[in-house]
Amino acid sequence: MSLFNRRTLLALPLALAACGFSPVYGPGSTGARLQNSVLVDAPGNRDAFLVTRRIEERLGRAGEPAAYTLALTVTSSSSGLAVDSGGSITRYNLLGRANYALRDTATGQIVTSGSVDNFTGFSTTGTTMATFAAQRDAQERLMTILADQVIARLLASTDLS
């Protein structure tokens, strides 16, 4: 390794500290404040249940009383992507969106809110059961992606006190 590369490597932690970088789960950080402190509203459908389950896996379940409540609205739709020569759709695209609002339970103020969207796909070229399993798997993957995006946005929020 050249001398230039070694100096660059040694200077990297200093540069990160100078720009205000801090670990997301460090003491007093956003991640530490959210851990086991977010009560997610009861899900109204399977999509919302899958997103809620993933959020609780990552952030933990809130004790009583919860410091924050998270309101979620999850929607999904599908559209055909590939059509064979017989006119049958052989691949679907699942589109999903999650709108969220994190509320401080003590003040009732919305701390942060927004929406995330993403997509997954699945093939319909197998049997009926294989297609059904592929669709359910794609739905679960999509909801996991949406939940992880919501969590990333919450962790990036600097408005938490």
DSSP bridge partners of 47: none
Supply the pTM of this predicted model.
Answer: 0.81
Q: Which residues contact 158 (CB under 8 A, 6 or more apart)?
A: 30
Question: Which range among 15-19, 64-68, 70-74, 122-126 shows the weakest confidence by mean pLDDT?
Answer: 15-19
Q: Distance of CA 38 to CAs 3, 46, 54, 70, 111, Å? A: 48, 20, 13, 7, 12
The residue-averaged pLDDT of 46-50 equals 96
- Rounded Cα distance, 137 and 81, in Å: 18
At 145 the pLDDT is 98
Q: Is the pLDDT of residue 100 over 70?
A: yes
- At 45, the pLDDT band (50, 70, 90 cuts) reads very high
| pLDDT above 70 (res 76) | yes
Q: Which helix (H) or strand (E) holds 50?
A: helix 46-59
Q: What confidence tens digit (pLDDT) does each residue in 21-37 have?
A: 666 666 666 777 888 89
